[in-house]
Amino acid sequence: MTDQSVPEARTSEAALEEAVSENVVPEEAVSENDAPRKGVSRRALLGTAGATGLVLGAAGAGVGYAAAPAGATPLTSLGSDRAMFHGKHQPGITEGLQARGHLVAFDLAAGAGRKEAAALLRRWSATAERLMAGEAATHDDTDVARDAGPSSLTVTFGFGHSFFARTGLEKQRPVSLDPLPDFSSDQLDKARSDGDLWVQIGADDALVAFHALRAIQKDAGSAARIRWQMNGFNRTPGATAHRMTARNLMGQLDGTRNPKPAESDFDQRIFVPASGSKDPSWMANGSYAVVRRIRMLLDDWEKLSLTAQENVVGRRKSDGAALTGGTETTAMDLEKTDAKGELVVPVNAHARITRPDQNGGAAILRRPFSYHDGFEADGVPDAGLLFVCWQADPLRGFVPLQRKLDRGDALSKYIRHEASGLFAVPGGAAAGEYVGQRLLES
């Protein structure tokens, strides 16, 4: 997990005394619409700042854009959580699911090539670094996120198959980026699929996420235009009594068997190795993102009984445990039968089919967002999953799993794949670098 702490400003009582007088809120901290009030006591401010690790006003200037004016309530832990832009891997891959997400693909403008793409990635990287630190954008900031902290914001950049021809870098295009095969369940909208460049934005605050989306779009300028854009959401951290696997819009826990960073083969499955790989060197420590807009046919799904729903998935809806018993993490007994001699987990159950040990070890790291784009004229919801999965090689990760699902997944009757994309996501940028620099300046 990326370090999400905010750089500490001075937290001593003396530092707070420099920013806040004994019992008075400075006039500039009071809105014209505020009712007259006594100031917040220094003791209350000290107690709150101590609980959050943040300080106020002048004493909190080190926090930058996220600092609150003197006398205001300091950031909660949710707002102060921070992911780091620079690192071995790009942010937005191993971090926990965020409450709000935006996926957006760009096509380079006519006449734009390698030079323009490099300048664009340089701008985007600089903006992402600032926003992820809770700071304002360098130019023409909209102030949308002025009152918020970093809020676990992550911004991730990737390249589509078409990007390499547009920039004259065909020889640097990875074999793993070859187009995905056709699947029988696909009903893809080409206008909402693929793209030269892909950006994933996630944050635990909706305004922080939108602020980043708007900044990235404005930074594109004349170099690139939006091809498609999708908005998603997850449960807000802290909305449940304890951390748990997310639920999707079908009400099922989604991601129970996700690979864990602590597992010895996690990096091997998810990230391109720094050496000994078929991929070009610029992809070292990178990953491949498969993006699918999956419509859930919720009216049909919700007509099923609870038992029927659980048989389709192969897990209990209440707690995610396999139908063969135990807890969410208890291994599924694929051979267990009931009193009639029938398999407890049906042969076409989604959870059975997707198990790595049923697919030659194929594994993906799921990191999706749910979406809801309103209702159609007949009242049918346009809702489902913005499926994003990560792997070191999509031909050994997503493709064999999807082919298996295509041949007999009980869930396929209740979903529809409507858009698709595959993107090469290079490794993280070192300090002083921009994302993709090793490709664009090779």
75 falls in which pLDDT band (50, 70, 90)?
low
The closest of 437, 421, 426, 435 to 195, measured between CA atoms, is 421
Q: Does 37 have pLDDT greater than 70?
A: no
pLDDT digits (tens, 9 = 90+) for 274-284: 988 899 999 99
Alpha-carbon distances of 196 from 108, 131, 163, rounded to whole Å = 7, 23, 4
pLDDT score for 361: 84
Do β-strands 365-366 and 197-203 pair in parallel, antiparallel, or remain unpaired? Answer: unpaired
pLDDT tens-place string over residues 298-353: 999 999 999 999 999 999 999 999 999 999 999 999 999 999 999 999 999 999 99
Q: What confidence tier does 188 reach under pLDDT thresholds 50, 70, 90?
A: very high
Name the residue among 438, 427, 433, 441 with its Cα closest to residue 157.
Answer: 427
Q: Which residue has the tokens 């708007």?
A: 214
Does the pLDDT of residue 66 top 60, yes or no?
no
* pLDDT at residue 277, rounded to an integer: 87
Q: What is the pLDDT of residues 98-130, one digit of tens each?
A: 999 999 999 999 999 999 999 999 999 999 999
Lowest mean pLDDT among 62-71, 329-338, 369-378: 62-71
- Write down the pLDDT at residue 18: 39
Known catalytic residue: 300? no
Q: How confident is the model at residue 137 (pLDDT cuts 50, 70, 90)?
A: very high
| Residue 69 clears pLDDT 90, i.e. is over it | no
Say whether pLDDT at 14 is over 80.
Answer: no
What is the predicted pLDDT for the residue at 1? 42
> Letter for the amino acid at 102?
H
Look at residue 76 in the predicted model and tell me its pLDDT.
67
Residue 57's pLDDT band (boundaries 50, 70, 90)?
very low
**pLDDT tens track for 227-259:** 999 999 999 988 888 889 999 999 999 999 999
Average pLDDT of the residues in 392-417: 95
- CA 300 – CA 383 distance, rounded (Å): 13
Higher pLDDT, 17 or 155: 155
Q: What is the pTM of this model?
A: 0.83
Confidence of residue 39 (pLDDT cuts 50, 70, 90): very low
Kindly report the length of the chain: 442
Active-site residue, from 107, 204, 219, 254:
254
- Name the amino acid, one letter, at 143: D
Mean pLDDT over residues 57-65, rounded?
37
**pLDDT at site 139:** 86
Q: How confident is the model at residue 31 (pLDDT cuts 50, 70, 90)?
A: very low
Least confidently predicted of 175-189, 277-291, 349-363, 422-436: 349-363
Largest CA distance in the chain: 77
Confidence band for 4, pLDDT divided at 50, 70 and 90: very low
Query: Distance between CA atoms of 395 and 204, rounded to whole angstroms?
Result: 32
What confidence category does residue 74 fall into, taking pLDDT thresholds of 50, 70 and 90?
low
Q: Identify the pLDDT of residue 107.
A: 98
Give the model's pLDDT for residue 313. Answer: 98
3-state per-residue secondary structure call for the chain: CCCCCCCCCCCCHHHHHHHCCCCCCCHHHCCCCCCCCCCCCHHHHHHHHHHHCCCCHHHHHHHHHHCCCCCCCCCCHHHHCCCCCCCCCCCCCCCCCCCEEEEEEEEECCCCCHHHHHHHHHHHHHHHHHHHCCCCCCCCCCCCCCCCCCCCCEEEEEECHHHHHHCCCHHHCCHHHCCCCCCCCECCCHHHCCCCEEEEEEECCHHHHHHHHHHHHHHHCCCEEEEEEEEEECCCCCCCCCCCCCECCCCCECCCCCCCCCCCCHHHHHCCCCCCCCCCHHHCCCEEEEEEEEEECHHHHCCCCHHHHHHHHCECCCCCCECCCCCCCCCCCCCCECCCCCECCCCCCHHHHCCHHHCCCCCCEECCEEEEEEECCCCCEEEEEEEEEEECCCCCCHHHHHHHHHCCCHHHHHEEEEEEEEEEECCCCCCCCCCCHHHHCC
**Whether residue 413 has pLDDT greater than 90:** yes
Please determine, for residue 393, whether its predicted confidence score (pLDDT) is greater than 70.
yes
**pLDDT over 90 (residue 419):** yes
Whole-number average pLDDT of the chain: 86
More confident residue, 60 or 201: 201
- The larger pLDDT score, comparing residue 46 to residue 363, is at 363
CB–CB of 362/395 below 8 Å? no
